[in-house]
Amino acid sequence: MFASNPFAELSASIPTVYMQGYIVVMILLVMGGTILDMLHKKSAQYFFENAKKAQKSAKRSVTGGEKVAIATSVLVKEVLTSGEFDNPRRRLSHLLTMWGTIIFIVTTAIMIFSPSSTSTLLPQLWHIGALMLAVGGYWFWFAIRVDVAAEGLSWFRLERADLFILSLLATSTFALIWSFTGGGVTVFFALFVLSSTVLFGGVYWSKFAHMFFKPAAAYQKKIIMADGGRENLPPDYDLTDPEVQRKFPDVPMYMGKNPPNMGLCIKAERADHY
Ligand code: HEM
């Protein structure tokens, strides 16, 4: 079962061209939802205006070569390996969810667009992708979400912001149950199609589009560090540096002669005072 293509058997009841049409409609829905989301939140407009404003505080100009290096580092660190997450549990959960989703979606499209393929690798990857998504997603839902992990709220409290993760979980869960119960046109197939339609059709209302916006934001964040602008935030001062001590002569009055490095307060302790 792990190695058999559930869509090949389905084509006995549903013509392959309908399945291919469904995939095209889903792609159009994602594109439309992302564009509407950008227009509604004015995020692209804000992004470009903010980048222009940040450029005014730049201390130096970033060369083309540096921009390529920054874009490469964003691709390798933030995009491919979820490097924005400092917390290893959140990072691992995001890696499982993201790569599981990508593997699941890509193999679905390949299997549907090449129905005569006899590859056993594709169905195996399809199941592995769905399982990775389910493991990373349920881990996030029950244990990692800020509402649950840091605010002590119950895991079954729902908000519109949960549409993305819940539709991802429903899609992978019903896809796996559908395949494990033998495929075909069943109630599990209907639930699989319904949840994936909500996932791809709900982009305007969900966090789906973050996968396109986050890389751009990460790139911009690195540019303002490279050009010295830092969005007018102060530099990270080293209080043992004589130059810094000269600049802030009153620090010993408040913090003694050897001020300790306080670090990032956000990392001082886990938020669990509920
Ligand atoms: C198939 C692709 C992806 C999937 C399925 C995915 C999935 C998720 C999920 C389920 C969450 C938690 C959302 C929630 O709070 O409900 C999340 C958050 C996050 N993702 Fe992704 N993601 C993907 C791509 C990306 C990419 C490419 C980046 C960055 C370059 C990224 C960066 C982030 C960050 C920084 C957060 C946490 C901050 C926040 O909640 O805004 N993700 N992602």
Q: Is the same domain home to 225 and 247? A: no
List the one residue out of 104, 5, 70 whose CA is nearest residue 215.
70
8 A C-beta contact, residue 146 and residue 139: no
C-beta of 90 in contact with ligand 1 (< 6 A): no
C-beta of 78 in contact with ligand 1 (< 6 A): yes
pLDDT in tens, 44-76: 899 999 888 988 889 999 999 999 999 999 999
Please determine, for residue 163, whether its predicted confidence score (pLDDT) is greater than 90.
yes
Q: Is the same domain home to 107 and 162? A: yes
Confidence band, pLDDT 50/70/90 cuts, at residue 274 = low
Q: Is position 274 within any domain?
A: no
Q: Is the same domain home to 226 and 248? A: no
Residue type, 19: M
Q: Is the same domain home to 67 and 161? A: yes
Q: Is position 272 within any domain?
A: no
Q: Is the same domain home to 150 and 255? A: no
Task: Name residue, tokens 């990392």.
Answer: 267
Q: Is the same domain home to 178 and 42? A: yes
- Look at 263 and 118; give whichever has higher pLDDT: 118
The whole domain housing 82 covers 6-230
Pocket test for ligand 1, best of 96, 98, 203, 221 (most atoms within 8 A of CB): 98
C-beta of 23 in contact with ligand 1 (< 6 A): no
Q: Is position 273 within any domain?
A: no
Cα gap 222→55, rounded to integer Å: 13
Q: What rounded mean pLDDT belongs to the chain?
A: 92
Cα gap 9→13, rounded to integer Å: 8
Q: Is the same domain home to 124 and 206? A: yes
Burial class of residue 136 (count of CB atoms within 10 Å of its CB; 0-12, 13-18, 19+): buried
Confidence band, pLDDT 50/70/90 cuts, at residue 15 = very high
Q: How far is CA 216 from the centre of its chain?
A: 13
Q: Is the same domain home to 226 and 240? A: no
Burial class of residue 69 (count of CB atoms within 10 Å of its CB; 0-12, 13-18, 19+): middle
Pocket test for ligand 1, best of 214, 219, 220 (most atoms within 8 A of CB): 214
Q: Is position 127 within any domain?
A: yes
Q: Is the same domain home to 40 and 58? A: yes
Q: Is position 92 within any domain?
A: yes
pLDDT in tens, 188-202: 999 999 999 999 999
**Total number of domains constituting the chain:** 2
Q: Is position 178 within any domain?
A: yes
- 185 C-alpha vs ligand 1 centroid, how far in Å? 32
pLDDT in tens, 231-263: 888 888 888 888 998 999 998 898 888 887 777
Q: Is the same domain home to 92 and 176? A: yes
Please determine, for residue 13, whether its predicted confidence score (pLDDT) is greater than 90.
yes
Q: Is the same domain home to 147 and 243? A: no
Please determine, for residue 86, whether its predicted confidence score (pLDDT) is greater than 80.
yes
Q: What are the backbone dihedrals phi and psi of residue 123, each rounded to the nearest 5 degrees, phi first?
A: -60, -35
Q: Is position 1 within any domain?
A: no
Q: What is the pLDDT of residue 92?
A: 98
Burial class of residue 232 (count of CB atoms within 10 Å of its CB; 0-12, 13-18, 19+): exposed
8 A C-beta contact, residue 3 and residue 124: yes
Question: Rounded to two decimals, what is the model's pTM?
Answer: 0.90
Please determine, for residue 273, whether its predicted confidence score (pLDDT) is greater than 90.
no
Q: Is the same domain home to 258 and 150? A: no
By mean pLDDT, which of 80-84, 87-91, 150-154 is the weakest? 150-154
Q: Is position 38 within any domain?
A: yes
